[in-house]
């Protein structure tokens, strides 16, 4: 997998486009990290495939451009995603972040952003992948540890190289909701961290493995 770096990293931070479907808590975590300066990147576009996605409000509050590509306007998945693809290209994004997008991306979309599109999934992949109910499935299966994974998006759904993982214990009195909430708290840490590593050019894919390079020594 070949990574494509920002065209002019000296004069601007990497430009990030975020795809959402719901409340957008991971989007908010990323936005707050960029605002604190802990993630050296800029969110320049937010796209939702649902018109009622609550996360759109976080973009509006910051005057970040938004695009709605929902089923009402684009009944076919291929048409929705072509609208998304065109918007991301027009915004000149360097990295695409899938932060709770609830539909599988078509091959042309994945190919367009190969090596520079990441996803957050609420399980320790490869366990409980290819589902929107990973937390409930983990609980039903009886695992003692689960968590979240940040990985590159490939045409193998939830099967791309893993960048980061964070684990949480499964408690005896957990419900699907309490477990999901605890996993989500870790997603809010892992996703900005993965974007930071990518923005700092410290992520290298070697076969199926992701190597994280050490931070550069501060200039003297």
CATH number at residue 138: 3.40.50.170
Domain span at residue 85 reads 15-202
Higher-pLDDT residue of 5 and 184 is: 184
157, part of any domain? yes
Share of the chain above pLDDT 90, in %: 92
Instruction: Show Cβ contacts of residue 92 under 8 Å, excluding neighbours closer than 6 positions.
Output: 7, 15, 44
Give me the pLDDT at residue 183, please.
98
40, part of any domain? yes
| Tokens read off for 124 | 């320790």
Strands of the sheet with 145-152, listed across from one edge: 66-68, 42-48, 15-20, 95-98, 117-121, 145-152, 162-169
119, part of any domain? yes
63, part of any domain? yes
Give me the pLDDT at residue 216, please.
82
Give me the pLDDT at residue 218, please.
72
> How far is CA 115 from each of CA 42, 161, 169, 198, rounded to the nearest angstrom?
18, 10, 31, 10
121, part of any domain? yes
85, part of any domain? yes
> What tens digit of pLDDT does each residue of 110-161 get?
999 999 999 999 999 999 999 999 999 999 999 999 999 999 999 999 999 9
42, part of any domain? yes
Radius of gyration of the chain (CA): 17
Give me the pLDDT at residue 31, please.
98
C-beta separation of 13 from 199 below 8 A: yes
Active-site annotation, residues = 121
| Mean pLDDT estimate for the chain | 95
Instruction: Show Cβ contacts of residue 117 under 8 Å, excluding neighbours closer than 6 positions.
Output: 95, 96, 97, 98, 110, 152, 153
3, part of any domain? no
Higher-pLDDT residue of 66 and 216 is: 66
Give me the pLDDT at residue 217, please.
73
Q: How many domains does the chain have?
A: 1
Tell me the three state secondary structure of residue 187. Answer: helix
């Amino acid at each position: 997998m070949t990574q494509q770096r920002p065209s002019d990293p000296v004069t601007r931070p990497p430009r990030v486009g975020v795809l959402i479907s719901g409340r957008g808590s991971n989007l908010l975590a990323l936005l707050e990290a960029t605002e604190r300066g802990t993630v050296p990147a800029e969110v320049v576009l937010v796209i939702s495939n649902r018109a009622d996605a609550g996360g759109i409000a976080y973009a509006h509050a910051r005057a970040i451009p938004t695009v709605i590509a929902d089923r009402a306007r684009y009944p076919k998945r291929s048409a929705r995603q072509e609208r998304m693809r065109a918007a991301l290209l027009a915004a000149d994004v360097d990295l695409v972040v899938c932060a709770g997008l609830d539909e599988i991306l078509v091959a042309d979309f994945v190919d367009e952003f190969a090596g520079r599109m990441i996803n957050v999934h609420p399980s320790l992949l490869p366990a409980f992948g290819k589902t929107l109910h990973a937390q409930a499935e983990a609980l039903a299966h009886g695992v003692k540890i689960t968590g979240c994974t940040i990985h590159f998006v490939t045409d193998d759904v939830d099967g791309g190289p893993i960048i980061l993982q964070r684990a949480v214990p499964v408690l005896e009195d957990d419900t699907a909701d309490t477990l999901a909430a605890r996993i989500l708290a870790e997603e809010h840490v892992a996703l900005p961290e993965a974007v930071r590593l990518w923005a700092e050019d410290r992520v290298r894919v070697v076969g199926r493995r992701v190597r994280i390079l050490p931070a550069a020594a501060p200039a003297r």
